[in-house]
A and B are shown apart, each in its own frame.
Chain A
Amino acid sequence: MIRKTLAVAAVAVAAIAVTDAAQARDQIRIVGSSTVYPFSTAVAEQFGKAGKFKTPVVESTGTGGGMRLFCSGVGENFPDITNASRRITASEFENCTKNGVTGITEVVVGFDGIVFINAKSGPKFALTREQMYKATAKEVLVGGKLTANPYKLWNDVDPALPKEPILVYGPAPNHGTRDAYVELVLDPACEKQPEIKALDKDTRKKACQTVREDGAWVEVSENYTVIQQKITSNPAAVGVITFSYLDQNADKIQAATVDGKTASFDSIANGSYPVSRPLFFYVKKQHVGMIPGIKEYLAEFTADKAWGKEGYLADKGLIASPDAQRKEQAANAKALGDMKM
């Protein structure tokens, strides 16, 4: 019996090894941001349903993780497209070039807003970016000097805010949303202060971009559902999530106004809501032609029925870019224009 089992196992493994060598990848592989994931998967599914190509496989690895995989080389073992909720950085681009990924096409998908939410049953927050900075930065200016953040309650930051302890659930550093929070909330609010402006670049960066580690800021590395669950069980806690997630769960959570502006499709698209950012994906040009369907996938994504103002991605919470920009981006995607840093 043992001999038979062993023989069967050996044959199976050998058979698998042989087919493995013979089979080339015939479906697109996409990695990257969890913020772009809902849109990317929706396009992938539509693309697969059309029936000409296999449905692309989409992994949600976070923007940083996606860039690492995407830039690690050329060939069918490496992904073809990576989604990003921020622009590719210079060092990531360098890494790509070093590993032979020389042609990259950049596509701006649309916009997303970052919202500060709490449970419907909790107090309604009206926040400013400055207040969020004061509540969540590791070090703030007290009497002109950088000291460890002394604020314990929201009304320590500003008397107009509720008398509740500061507790913010936010995405961990592997999320593009976290980078965007630093870039759009912490940095601008922090660098407005003259005492900070006087510092040299490195100290300034450290002072402005580090979040609290004393328990007032809690990092959640999983997904927005986990943040939402923590928020609903603790009505005074604030969560940092993306607008598309809020849009789907507006009966359980409410968003704070930021600098007096309410987050909505319109206010994010026209830029009046202050904490919004573009979303991207990056295409490895060397894989076009090698992996079937990449051009067609780009065409599906950049068609108005997908990413237009009334396209199916709008139903998933994507905020469409203005018409002119969409047109330009679609043309660029079609021509597979090289991006430059």
Chain B
Amino acid sequence: MTEMIQTTATRTAETVAARLNRRYTAERRFRALGLGAILLSVGFLAVLLGSIVDKGWTGFLQTQIAVEIAFDPQVIDPEGTRDPATLDTADYAALVRAGMAARLSPEADRATRRDLSALVSTMAADQLRAMVTADPALIGSRATLWLLASDKLDMVVKGQVPRQVGAAGNALNDRQLGWLADLEQAHQTRKTFNTTFFTAGDSRAPEQAGIWGAVVGSFFSLAITLLVSFPLGVATAVYLEEFAPINRWTNLIEVNINNLAAVPSVVFGLLGLAVFLNVFHMPRSAPLVGGLVLALICLPTIIIAGRAALKAVPPSIRQAAAGLGASPLQIVAHHVLPLAMPGMLTGTILGMARALGETAPLLMIGMVAFIVDIPKSPLDPSAVLPVQIYLWAGSPERAFVEKTSAAIMVLLLFLVSMNMVAIVLRKKFERRW
């Protein structure tokens, strides 16, 4: 009998232990799954970022060649008038060609000269022009200058295309590679920080292309977006949350706002095309229109975040203010809104960060275009950062691959810093009750 009780007891204990064990295993499995999911996504992120950085970091460098340039008065200003118009239109490319020929192949025929000038960017001539027009006293002197190399040379120096003579994809011929080896031996090539990338607009020559035009375009677009969507969004959120009666109409509006937040952004682009361009005849490709379209995209996010922030303000604040005789407007303007502001700003910044990364809606309004001039106002045609990335990614020249990745890094940096600001704002000003 006692034996039987004992065995039953042992059996129960065993069952309990087994069940417990199963529960622990299930728990461990669940944790492992969660951890695995996180590790997997971190892994993906690392691969993505790693490949971007790996491909793009050389985009921040540029290759230069040291060339001794003779500022030949015969070429620049044969009549010696020092007339600014003459100085401006002189053939500075000839000076570069002569300098290269003197260094590498003094008795150059026409074909050799062509090969020589293919090593130097066409921007070198602009560089000389700027120097001479700034200081005409240079004419007649000689100077060793670091000139920007062409994208073909740049790719070989950076090791992005094979360096063997005649290797496919290498745009340099054996003679040019020989010259390059010669220059490198004499330490007349160098890699420096690529300032052009941060100061120039778009260009078809990869070594002259920069993101500044796109950055300015993004700035103008986002400024318009902020100016339009923030006041509208805050006003809507305040009215809906604090003043509007709850009835069928406000419910309908609420449902619509939530739906709008999920509409694909290209639809807003079509709307922009139909309304802003075709009805109001606003200029095509302008950040003004881009900003307005992006404002429409941001608006639902701002309203939803704003309402959540207003809801988080405890009713006791409103009651206390009302108890002291404040009018509804005073309650909102003096007490509720300042307390809700950090939450609203966070929502706004997140909406703006989304707007910064949009390309699809801008396609419709002509912002996906080759635009060289840096925009001076929100009415000038302009690209934005993600558009610039898209355009470079589609360009056939090999040197645009690193430029694309470099531009992606810049865009990511902007996005990360905007999100950081949002986090800091939240941490610093958020109040909990």
Check: B378 CB closer than 8 A to any chain A CB: yes
Proximity string of chain A (1-35) to chain B, C-beta cutoff 8 Å, 1 when within and 0 when not: 01001101100110010011001010101000010
Rounded to whole angstroms, the CA-CA distance of A41 and B204 in the bound complex is 7
Q: Which of B284, B372, B394, B398 meets A45, CB within 8 Å?
A: B372
**Closest residue of chain A to B228, judged by CB?**
A9
**Closest residue of chain B to A247, judged by CB?**
B396
Check: A248 CB closer than 8 A to any chain B CB: yes
Check: B381 CB closer than 8 A to any chain A CB: yes
Q: Is the CB of A251 within 8 A of B378?
A: no
Rounded to whole angstroms, the CA-CA distance of A180 and B162 in the bound complex is 34
Q: Is the CB of A25 within 8 A of B370?
A: no
Chain A residues whose CB sits within 8 angstroms of the CB of B282 once the complex forms = 20
Q: Which of A29, A41, A42, A54 meets B284, CB within 8 Å?
A: A29
A44 and B372 contact, Cβ closer than 8 Å, known pairs A8-B227, A20-B282: yes
**Closest residue of chain B to A223, judged by CB?**
B394
Chain B residues whose CB sits within 8 angstroms of the CB of A225 once the complex forms = 393-396
Q: Is the CB of A13 within 8 A of B371?
A: no
Check: A59 CB closer than 8 A to any chain B CB: yes
A248 and B372 contact, Cβ closer than 8 Å, known pairs A2-B337, A9-B231: no
Chain B residues whose CB sits within 8 angstroms of the CB of A20 once the complex forms = 282-283, 288, 379
Proximity string of chain B (222-243) to chain A, C-beta cutoff 8 Å, 1 when within and 0 when not: 0000011011001100000000
Chain A residues whose CB sits within 8 angstroms of the CB of B381 once the complex forms = 27, 57
Check: A222 CB closer than 8 A to any chain B CB: yes
Q: Is the CB of B167 within 8 A of A251?
A: yes
CB distance from B184 to the nearest CB of A (A): 22
A41 and B370 contact, Cβ closer than 8 Å, known pairs A9-B228, A224-B396: yes
Q: Which of A59, A245, A251, A316 meets B368, CB within 8 Å?
A: A59
Check: A309 CB closer than 8 A to any chain B CB: no
Q: Is the CB of B169 within 8 A of A57?
A: no
Proximity string of chain A (39-58) to chain B, C-beta cutoff 8 Å, 1 when within and 0 when not: 00110110011000011011
Q: Is the CB of A55 within 8 A of B372?
A: yes
Check: B369 CB closer than 8 A to any chain A CB: yes
Chain B residues whose CB sits within 8 angstroms of the CB of A23 once the complex forms = 283, 379
Q: Is the CB of B204 within 8 A of A77?
A: no
Q: Is the CB of B373 within 8 A of A55?
A: yes
CB distance from B341 to the nearest CB of A (A): 9
**Closest residue of chain A to B278, judged by CB?**
A77
Check: A63 CB closer than 8 A to any chain B CB: no
Check: A250 CB closer than 8 A to any chain B CB: yes
A224 and B288 contact, Cβ closer than 8 Å, known pairs A2-B234, A42-B204, A251-B169: no
Classify the interface of chain B: helix, strand, loop or mixed. Answer: loop
A5 and B373 contact, Cβ closer than 8 Å, known pairs A27-B381, A38-B396: no
Q: Is the CB of A13 within 8 A of B379?
A: no
Chain A residues whose CB sits within 8 angstroms of the CB of B51 once the complex forms = none
Q: Is the CB of B283 within 8 A of A25?
A: yes
Q: Is the CB of A251 within 8 A of B371?
A: no
Q: Which of A8, A12, A249, A310 meets B398, CB within 8 Å?
A: A249
Rounded to whole angstroms, the CA-CA distance of A120 and B167 in the bound complex is 13
Q: Is the CB of A244 within 8 A of B396?
A: yes
* A252-271, CB < 8 A from B: 252
Q: Is the CB of A249 within 8 A of B169?
A: yes
Check: B83 CB closer than 8 A to any chain A CB: no
Chain B residues whose CB sits within 8 angstroms of the CB of A171 once the complex forms = none
Check: B168 CB closer than 8 A to any chain A CB: yes
Rounded to whole angstroms, the CA-CA distance of A149 and B398 in the bound complex is 38
Chain A residues whose CB sits within 8 angstroms of the CB of B326 once the complex forms = none
Check: B86 CB closer than 8 A to any chain A CB: no
Chain B residues whose CB sits within 8 angstroms of the CB of A59 once the complex forms = 285, 366, 368-370
CB distance from B290 to the nearest CB of A (A): 13
Q: Is the CB of B281 within 8 A of A77?
A: yes
Q: Which of B227, B235, B394 meets A224, CB within 8 Å?
A: B394
Rounded to whole angstroms, the CA-CA distance of A58 and B378 in the bound complex is 18
Q: Is the CB of B168 within 8 A of A13?
A: no
Q: Is the CB of B368 within 8 A of A60?
A: yes
Q: Is the CB of B167 within 8 A of A5?
A: no
A19 and B372 contact, Cβ closer than 8 Å, known pairs A41-B204, A248-B398: no
* A54-86, CB < 8 A from B: 54-55, 57-60, 77
**Closest residue of chain A to B393, judged by CB?**
A225
Proximity string of chain A (88-110) to chain B, C-beta cutoff 8 Å, 1 when within and 0 when not: 00000000000000000000000
Rounded to whole angstroms, the CA-CA distance of A13 and B349 in the bound complex is 21
Rounded to whole angstroms, the CA-CA distance of A19 and B379 in the bound complex is 9
**Closest residue of chain B to A6, judged by CB?**
B231
Q: Which of B227, B337, B393 meets A9, CB within 8 Å?
A: B227
* B352-401, CB < 8 A from A: 366, 368-373, 377-379, 381, 393-398
Rounded to whole angstroms, the CA-CA distance of A59 and B167 in the bound complex is 34
Check: B333 CB closer than 8 A to any chain A CB: yes
CB distance from B221 to the nearest CB of A (A): 13
Q: Is the CB of A248 within 8 A of B397?
A: yes
Check: A37 CB closer than 8 A to any chain B CB: yes
Rounded to whole angstroms, the CA-CA distance of A336 and B291 in the bound complex is 38
Check: A317 CB closer than 8 A to any chain B CB: yes
Check: B203 CB closer than 8 A to any chain A CB: yes
A57 and B394 contact, Cβ closer than 8 Å, known pairs A8-B227, A41-B204, A252-B169: no
Q: Is the CB of B371 within 8 A of A57?
A: yes
Q: Which of A19, A41, A55, A57 meets B377, CB within 8 Å?
A: A19
Q: Is the CB of B227 within 8 A of A250?
A: no
Rounded to whole angstroms, the CA-CA distance of A2 and B231 in the bound complex is 7
Chain B residues whose CB sits within 8 angstroms of the CB of A44 once the complex forms = 370, 372
**Closest residue of chain B to A59, judged by CB?**
B369
CB distance from B347 to the nearest CB of A (A): 16
**Closest residue of chain B to A245, judged by CB?**
B396
Check: B176 CB closer than 8 A to any chain A CB: no
Q: Is the CB of B281 within 8 A of A13?
A: no
Chain B residues whose CB sits within 8 angstroms of the CB of A9 once the complex forms = 227-228, 231
Q: Which of A19, A38, A57 meets B395, CB within 8 Å?
A: A38
CB distance from B382 to the nearest CB of A (A): 9
Q: Is the CB of A57 within 8 A of B285?
A: yes
Rounded to whole angstroms, the CA-CA distance of A16 and B228 in the bound complex is 13
* B251-303, CB < 8 A from A: 277, 281-285, 288
CB distance from A174 to the nearest CB of B (A): 12
* A–B Cβ pairs within 8 angstroms, 27 of them: A8-B227, A9-B228, A12-B227, A23-B283, A25-B283, A29-B284, A34-B394, A41-B204, A41-B370, A45-B205, A55-B372, A57-B370, A58-B369, A58-B370, A59-B285, A59-B368, A59-B370, A77-B284, A223-B393, A225-B393, A225-B395, A225-B396, A247-B396, A249-B396, A250-B169, A251-B161, A251-B162
Q: Which 8 A-B pairs have the closest CB atoms?
A: A251-B169, A223-B394, A55-B372, A248-B396, A58-B370, A59-B369, A41-B370, A251-B168
> Given known contacts A59-B369, A225-B393, what 13 new A-B pairs fall within 8 Å (CB)?
A2-B333, A9-B227, A13-B228, A19-B379, A38-B396, A41-B370, A45-B372, A77-B284, A222-B394, A225-B395, A247-B396, A251-B170, A317-B396
